[in-house]
Amino acid sequence: MATPTQFAFDLREVAELLIRKQGITEGKWAFGMEFAINIGTFGPTQEQSYPGLMASIARLTLTRADNAAPNAPLTIDASTLVAKQ
C-alpha cells in the first residue's frame, strides 16, 4: 500500500475537529476565518506594476452562536458531535 502524500479536509470537517480539540460539548459554534489584507503595487517590473491587493488567512475561529440562530452550513451544534464519537 502506498504512503499517503496528501490529506484533504472540507471546512465543516475542520470545524468539527476544532470543536472536539477544544473539548466543547454543548452550544452552537460558528466556524470562520480571519483574513489579513495587504495593498500595494504588484508586477514583474516597476513599469508593469499595478495597484492590487493580497489576502491571506490569518487564523481560524470558533464563535459561540445563539442557540436560536438558524443553522448555517458552518455552524455546528457541539452536542451532536458527542453522540458521533
Condensed to tens digits (0 to 9), the pLDDT of residues 15-45 reads: 999 999 999 999 999 999 999 999 999 999 9
Structural domains of the chain, count: 1
Nearest partner of 74 among 5, 10, 4, judged by Cα? 10
User: Which residues, 6+ apart, have CB-to-CB distance to 65 below 8 Å?
Assistant: 27, 28, 29, 30, 75
Average pLDDT of the chain to the nearest whole number: 93
With a cut of 70, say whether residue 71 has pLDDT above it.
Answer: yes
**Model confidence pTM above 0.85:** no
On whether residue 26 sits in a domain, the answer given is yes
At residue 6, the pLDDT reads 95
| Residue 54: inside a domain | yes
**35 in a domain, yes or no?**
yes
Q: Is residue 4, in this structure, part of any structural domain at all? A: no
Q: Which range of residues forms the domain containing residue 78? A: 11-41+49-84
Label residue 68 by pLDDT band (50, 70, 90): confident
